[in-house]
Amino acid sequence: MSHAPITIPELFIQTVNKLYGAKAELWLNNLPKTIVQYAQKQNVTLGTPLSFESIHLILNVQNSQGHDLLLKIGYPQDAELQREARALKIYNGEGAVRLLYANCMRGWA
């Protein structure tokens, strides 16, 4: 499955740089390629970013069965992303979105 190139919104880049400084530069530079690799590994089709006015980037994705999903990306080991993933796992889709997969050490939920 091929994927169109991903453009990371400038506001997201600025926000991450402001919070994490120089250590985020390499991660941000590799992020478009990393997102495509994730999509290939999880067998999802990438859509456009939904939200980028925070420290997380949210993309529309579609799985191989045609179901619409969201991919939330944050700086690896981000404490907020970890808390959100734990909470979503507890809710298990009741009153919140269902968390299908998370790897907060890599910045995915």
Give dist(CA 80, CA 23) in Å, integer: 18
Cα-based distances in Å from 104 to 2, 3, 41, 64, 67: 25, 23, 16, 23, 23
Query: pLDDT tens across 16-31, in order?
Result: 999 999 989 999 999 9
pLDDT score, position 62: 92
Report the chain's mean pLDDT, rounded to a whole number: 86
CA angle 77, 22, 53 (to 5 degrees): 65
* Residue 53 reports pLDDT greater than 70: no
Q: Where are the domains of the chain?
A: 10-91
